[in-house]
């Protein structure tokens, strides 16, 4: 006789990038195992692979992680974590001006995806030439740098080149898929510093998960604010900005 199937609850959320509503379910034991193994290994790329597998499984295959912006996947994962393990996350902060750890309490239901005012993916470089950008995907985090550090010249060049969707020159459109990575990198290397910073600003102002909270410094007793952004801040050791 076959064993009974257990009914798993389903929930709905709205994708930040498109507004599309998707259904999802909590982690099962098999997904929790994948996550624990990736966490214990302390390998950022293993964590990325685990994120891909869990998001795809828990959204019934409706979300293809490699096709969505990274901030979509982070937002989905936070919601999965809230419904599967608990709505409160407790990352440990080591303040920059104090060597004593602080345990934060984060209500995952209050985490938002925010976008800077004026953010756009169409960036003019001259009066006639410009680029249309696409958001970083999980592939960049998996294959290049899990932290996507744009300050690293080599990593930054690769990420920026890979995130150019097309280049326009007046009415002419040059799609990146029709050109090699080397050609795209050569284009970026030929930019002036001002033009290059316009592309950097696209990444700095793009949507990101964000949560602002307060803590009391154990060294001074002073109350401070901290902004968390990125999964590492929520589940690891935040390197977020304090004020």
| Model pLDDT for residues 140-176, shown as the tens digit of each residue | 666 655 555 666 667 778 889 999 999 999 999 999 9
Sign of CA dihedral 11, 61, 141, 132: negative
| pLDDT score of 109 more than 70 | yes
Spatial CA neighbour of 165 closest among 188, 133, 203, 196: 133
C-alpha 100: how far from chain center: 28
Per-residue model confidence as pLDDT tens digits over 78-99: 999 999 988 998 888 888 778 8
Residue 215 has pLDDT above 80, yes or no: yes
| Percent residues over pLDDT 70 in the chain | 90
42 — pLDDT class (breaks 50, 70, 90): low
Q: Which residues pair with 224 in a beta bridge?
A: 215
Q: What six digits make up the tokens of 53?
A: 């597998």
Could you tell me the pLDDT band of residue 231, with boundaries at 50, 70 and 90?
A: confident
Q: Looking at per-residue confidence, does 226 or 232 come out higher?
A: 226
pLDDT at residue 17 greater than cutoff 70: yes
How many other CB atoms are there within 10 angstroms of residue 59's CB atom? 20
């Amino acid at each position: 006789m076959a064993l009974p199937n257990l009914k798993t609850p389903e929930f709905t959320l709205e994708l930040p990038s498109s507004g599309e509503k998707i259904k999802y379910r909590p982690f099962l034991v098999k997904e929790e195992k994948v996550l624990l193994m990736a966490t214990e290994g302390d390998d950022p790329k293993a964590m990325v692979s685990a994120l891909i597998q869990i998001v795809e499984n828990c959204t019934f295959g409706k979300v293809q992680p490699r096709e969505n912006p990274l901030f979509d996947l982070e937002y989905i994962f936070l919601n999965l974590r809230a419904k599967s393990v608990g709505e409160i996350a407790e990352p440990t902060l080591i303040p920059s001006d104090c060597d004593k750890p602080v345990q934060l309490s984060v209500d995952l239901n209050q985490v938002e995806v925010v976008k800077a005012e004026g953010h756009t993916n169409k960036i003019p470089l001259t009066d006639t030439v410009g680029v249309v950008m696409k958001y970083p995907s999980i592939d960049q985090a998996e294959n290049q740098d899990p932290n996507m550090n744009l300050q690293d010249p080599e990593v930054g060049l690769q990420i920026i080149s890979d995130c150019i969707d097309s280049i326009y020159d007046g009415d002419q459109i040059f799609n990146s898929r029709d050109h090699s990575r080397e050609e795209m990198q050569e284009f970026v290397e030929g930019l002036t510093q001002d033009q290059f910073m316009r592309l950097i600003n696209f990444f700095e102002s793009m949507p990101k998960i964000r949560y602002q909270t307060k803590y009391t410094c154990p060294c001074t007793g002073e109350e401070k604010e901290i902004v968390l952004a990125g999964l590492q801040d929520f589940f690891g050791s935040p390197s977020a900005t304090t004020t």
